[in-house]
Amino acid sequence: MSDAKDAPPHQGPSVRRFGAALLGLLHGHVELFGLELQEQKSRTLALLLFAGLALLFALLLILGLSLLVLVLFWDSDRLAAVLGLCAFYALGGGLCAWRLYQLVDDDSSPFSATLEELARDREQLLP
């Protein structure tokens, strides 16, 4: 009088197949998520490195050009040169802050391929 004898024989393999299919889907999604996470990490590191170098070289260029402008206008209009440089820097800083705000406010998902794959699987599993 075992419960295993009372249960229909087709339920065991069916549940196992469903479990195996579910684990296979989960494994594929976790693997895809891991690959996308690694790509995001590499991309972010490269972006930070090149952004830092670009900032350094741009700062050195701005410093050199500012000194050139001040030297050229030192005798004639040094106050106008300083005010012009300040206005230029304020405009540049404002534009960069506006663009940074736009980038931060972007709603795109970094794991869009994983989300699309999950949506396709949900559509296939639901009637």
Asked whether residue 25 is domain-assigned, the answer is yes
Asked whether residue 2 is domain-assigned, the answer is no
Instruction: Say whether pLDDT at 96 is over 60.
Output: yes
- Domain containing 59 equals 8-125
> How many domains are there within the chain?
1
pLDDT digits (tens, 9 = 90+) for 2-60: 555 555 555 567 877 777 777 777 787 788 888 888 888 888 999 899 999 999 999 99
Asked whether residue 1 is domain-assigned, the answer is no
What's the rounded mean pLDDT across residues 81-93? 92
What percent of the chain lies above the pLDDT cut of 90?
35
Contact 29, 114 (CB under 8 A): yes
pLDDT band at residue 99 under the 50/70/90 scheme? very high
Instruction: Determine which of 9-23, 42-56, 82-96, 99-113 has the lowest per-residue pLDDT on average.
Output: 9-23
Confidence (pLDDT) at 6: 54
Asked whether residue 3 is domain-assigned, the answer is no
Asked whether residue 50 is domain-assigned, the answer is yes
Instruction: Say whether pLDDT at 109 is over 90.
Output: no
Instruction: Say whether pLDDT at 116 is over 90.
Output: no
* Burial letters 77-107, b for 16+ CB under 10 A, else e: eeeebeeebeeeeeeeeeeeeeeeeeeeeee
